[in-house]
Amino acid sequence: MTDDLIDIVRLIGSDGIGAVSFTKYVKKFGSVSAALSAVSIKKTIMSLNEAREEIEDAQKKGIKIISYQDNKYPQKLLEIYDYPPILYALGDIDLLNYDLCVAVVGARNASIGGRKLASKIAYDLTENNVLVVSGMARGIDTAAHKGAMYAKNKSGPTIAVLGTGVDVIYPEENRELYADIAKQGVVISEFMLKTPAQIGNFPRRNRIISALSYGTLVVEATEHSGSLITAQSALEQGKDVFAVPGSPADARSAGPNKLIKEGAILTQSAADILDEIKKPLKERAKNKDVMLLPLDKAENNVNISEQYEDVFVPNEACEPAKDTDLLQHIGFDGVEIDELLRSVDMEQSKFFEKLLELEFEGVIVRTAGNKVVRVK
C-alpha cells in the first residue's frame, strides 16, 4: 500500500469527484496530493482511514487496485479523456493490455437466436486470438462471455466490465459466470468496493468496454438501449462499430438496423469482423508476442463456425430465463419448440398452455420442423 495509491483512492472517492474532474484537478495543481489538499477546502474528502480500509479490503478479497500511474493499467484507457483513475480487477490483469479486443454487447431480454449467435461469434473470435470484452449482463453479454470461455478447449479468456463494485455480482444469477470469468479471464470495475447496481453506473462503464476494444459488436438492442451508448462511445473514440441486422418487426433489431443505416459494418459472423482486423492482427503477431496463440497458427479457424454450425455453442449460453414471458424468446425467424422449452423457467404443462394461448391470439404460428414463429 503506497502513499500515492492512498491519495488517488481518497481523491476519486471524495464527494463530487469523477474521472474528468479528477484529471482536471491533478493537472491544475500538479500532483494528486496537491489536488487533494486544494479540494479539501471546498469538498468532503474521503478520510485516510477509509482509503486504507478500502485498499485492505481489496487485498483480503484478492482484488488488485490498479491506478492510472501503474504500468499494468490498460494503456488504451489512457487514450480517452475520461479514463478512470483506478480500476479494481479480479483475475488475470495482464489481459487488460492485450493488443486486440472486440466488445460484444446487446439486449438483456435477448432472443434465443441472438444469444446463440453472440456465443458463436465470441467463440470464433477467441479461437482466432481476439479477446472478447462485455459487461456480464444477462442476455447477449452472458452468451458472449460463455462462448469466449468455451473456446481454446474451454480455457478461453474474456474481460467483464461491471457497473457495480468488482465484489458485487449483478445480476445474482451470474454468480457462477462471475467466478468462471475471474478464474479464466478478468473482472474489472472503476467503482469502489460494495458499490451496488445503480442505473447511472452502467452507461459510465460502457465507455470502458469500448475503449478497451478495437471495435464494438451490437447483436440485439432496442433503439434506446444501453448497447447503443456503448456503440456511440466507440464512435466517439474512433473505433469500428459492427451490427447484426434483424427483422424490422422485432424491436430488438431496431438498434442494430439503425447503426447499419448510419454506417456500421453489417455482421453475420465472426468472419465479417476478422476480415476488418485480419491485417493489423497479422502485423501485431509478427511484431510482438501475443498472449493467445499467434494468428498464423489459428488462421484456418477464421470460418470455424461453418464447420461447427451450432454444435459448439454451450447450452449454458441459452440458460433458462428468470421470467415466464415466452413471447420475448420467440423471434420472427422462429425457434424450435424443444429449444424454447429448455430456455425458459416454466413447468412443461404451463409452457404448452401459454404457447397455445399465443397461437389463439394470432401472435405466433407453428411451422414445419416443430418450430414456432412470431408474426406480430
Cα–Cα nearest to 213, from 189, 240, 188:
240
- What confidence category does residue 314 fall into, taking pLDDT thresholds of 50, 70 and 90? low
**pTM for this prediction:** 0.81
Cis peptide preceding 171, ω within 30 of 0: yes
Extract the C-alpha cell encoding 152: 481454446
Rounded-to-integer distance, Cα 131 and Cα 123, Å: 10
- What confidence category does residue 281 fall into, taking pLDDT thresholds of 50, 70 and 90? low
Kindly tell me if the per-residue pLDDT of 215 is higher than 70. Answer: yes
Lowest mean pLDDT among 45-54, 289-298, 333-342: 289-298
Instruction: List beta partners, residue 160.
Output: 134, 187
Q: Which domains does the chain have, with CATH numbers?
A: 1-60 (no CATH), 94-317 (3.40.50.450), 320-374 (1.10.10.10)
Residue whose C-alpha cell is 451490437: 218
- What confidence category does residue 317 fall into, taking pLDDT thresholds of 50, 70 and 90? low
The top-scoring range by mean pLDDT among 17-21, 319-323, 346-350 is: 17-21
Task: Quick: pLDDT tens for 134-179.
Answer: 999 999 999 999 999 999 999 999 999 999 999 999 999 999 999 9
User: What integer is the mean pLDDT of 13-33?
Assistant: 93
Share of the chain above pLDDT 70, in %: 87
Kindly tell me if the per-residue pLDDT of 211 is higher than 50. Answer: yes
Share of the chain above pLDDT 90, in %: 62
Extract the C-alpha cell encoding 3: 502513499
Q: Which of 351-357's residues contact partners 24+ apart within 8 Å by CB, and which partners?
A: 351/326, 354/324, 354/326, 355/326
Rounded-to-integer distance, Cα 253 and Cα 220, Å: 6
pLDDT of residue 225: 84
Residue whose C-alpha cell is 488517488: 8
**Structural contact between residues 315 and 307, judged by C-beta atoms closer than 8 angstroms:** no
Rounded-to-integer distance, Cα 346 and Cα 368, Å: 24
Extract the C-alpha cell encoding 312: 459448439
Residue whose C-alpha cell is 442494430: 256
Kindly tell me if the per-residue pLDDT of 9 is higher than 70. Answer: yes
Q: Give the residue, 301 or 42, on which the prediction is more confident.
A: 42
Kindly tell me if the per-residue pLDDT of 265 is higher than 70. Answer: yes
CA torsion sign, 300 to 115 to 372 to 352?
A: positive
Number of H helices, E strands in the chain: 15, 12
DSSP annotation of 243 reads E
Q: Give the residue, 56 or 358, on which the prediction is more confident.
A: 56
- Measured between alpha carbons, how far is residue 201 from residues 29, 41, 162, 169, 195 in Å? 28, 28, 9, 14, 10
Rounded-to-integer distance, Cα 37 and Cα 252, Å: 49
Kindly tell me if the per-residue pLDDT of 199 is higher than 90. Answer: no
Residue whose C-alpha cell is 404457447: 355
- What confidence category does residue 315 fall into, taking pLDDT thresholds of 50, 70 and 90? low
Number of residues that this document lists for the chain: 376
